[in-house]
């Protein structure tokens, strides 16, 4: 008899993932499950699979593992981390409004903004960006110079008047020899400053392992950092992605990047998958 695995589908600015409470339900082969469940025609449909678990170290409260739609494991996802904060609080797994989340790129601090027991938005301390000595370089003459920024995962940000080239160009650049571990690709167009002085930056994303997505939290952070580095924007900006807008601040006081945005439940369900999963109440 097939086991039924409970899951929750959530999204942050349209970047949708399948969430499984790994404190109760083990996924034997999460890479295979991510490929199967993420299929938008034959599965649940998502950008990937996220496992929420206890933290194995005292420095964090919970842990996250994230698998892209192609089964590859990601280091970090900003949109998923915000969804985890909402999930943990509103499902009664914590009463903390500051949560330390262990990821493959370190411990991230989530600050929940709560009103009447509802998490309306989450600010994530994404820590410091990592820049190479030569962060700006050309990998493709057709798209011009880009800026490399690591937010725990690699990003290559290209400022352009044509963000819609993300499909064909993003696919090619993900696998470019300059990026031996593949890369997330952002195409960004900087707008005029708003009344508060912040620049609005229209951004489209090709995510490593998932293709075009509605939004990417680490990609939004990388774009904001790249814009500040190249003098296109200040340290605060709004990143407008296909699925919504994220507020990004690269603070001078600590060098950390802070991302603020919403998270939303889509639906709960169960899936039969005795081949990949088991429910063992661990």
Contact 38, 273 (CB under 8 A): no
Based on the residue annotation, tell me whether 216 is a catalytic residue of this protein: yes
Distance CA 243, CA 232 (A): 23
Alpha helices (runs of H) in 12-145, residue ranges in sequence order: 30-38, 78-90
Q: Is the dihedral of CA 171, 176, 181, 184 positive or negative?
A: negative
- Active-site annotation holder among 77, 83, 183, 221: 77
- Active-site annotation holder among 13, 83, 183, 216: 216
Tokens representing 207 are 């995510």
DSSP label of 85: H
How many H-runs (helices) and E-runs (strands) does the chain carry?
Answer: 4, 20
Contact 30, 51 (CB under 8 A): yes
Contact 61, 100 (CB under 8 A): yes
DSSP SS3 for 104? coil
Catalytic residues: 77, 216
């Amino acid at each position: 008899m097939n086991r039924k695995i409970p899951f929750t589908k959530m999204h942050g600015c349209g970047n949708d993932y399948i969430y499984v409470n790994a404190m109760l339900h083990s996924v034997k082969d999460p890479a295979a499950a991510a490929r199967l469940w993420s299929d938008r025609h034959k599965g649940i449909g998502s950008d990937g699979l996220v496992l929420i678990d206890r933290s194995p170290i005292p420095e964090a409260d919970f842990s996250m593992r994230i698998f892209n739609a192609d089964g590859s494991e990601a280091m970090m996802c900003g949109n998923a981390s915000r969804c985890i904060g909402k999930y943990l609080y509103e499902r009664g797994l914590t009463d903390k409004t500051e949560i330390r989340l262990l990821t493959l790129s370190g411990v991230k601090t989530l600050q929940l903004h709560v009103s009447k027991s509802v998490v309306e938005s989450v600010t994530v301390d994404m820590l410091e960006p990592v820049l190479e000595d030569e962060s700006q370089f050309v990998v493709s003459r057709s798209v011009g110079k880009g800026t490399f920024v690591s937010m725990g995962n690699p990003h290559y940000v290209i400022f352009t008047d044509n963000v819609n080239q993300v499909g064909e160009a993003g696919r090619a650049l993900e696998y470019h020899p300059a990026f031996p571990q593949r890369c997330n690709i952002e195409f960004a167009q900087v707008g005029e400053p708003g009344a508060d002085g912040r620049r609005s930056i229209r951004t489209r994303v090709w995510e490593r392992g998932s293709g075009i997505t509605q939004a990417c939290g680490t990609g939004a952070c990388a774009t904001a950092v790249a814009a500040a580095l190249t003098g296109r924007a200040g340290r605060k900006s709004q990143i407008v992605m296909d699925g919504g807008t994220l507020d990004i601040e690269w603070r001078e006081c600590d060098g950390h990047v802070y991302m603020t945005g919403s998270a939303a439940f889509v639906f709960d369900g169960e899936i039969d998958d005795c081949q990949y999963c088991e429910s063992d109440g661990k």
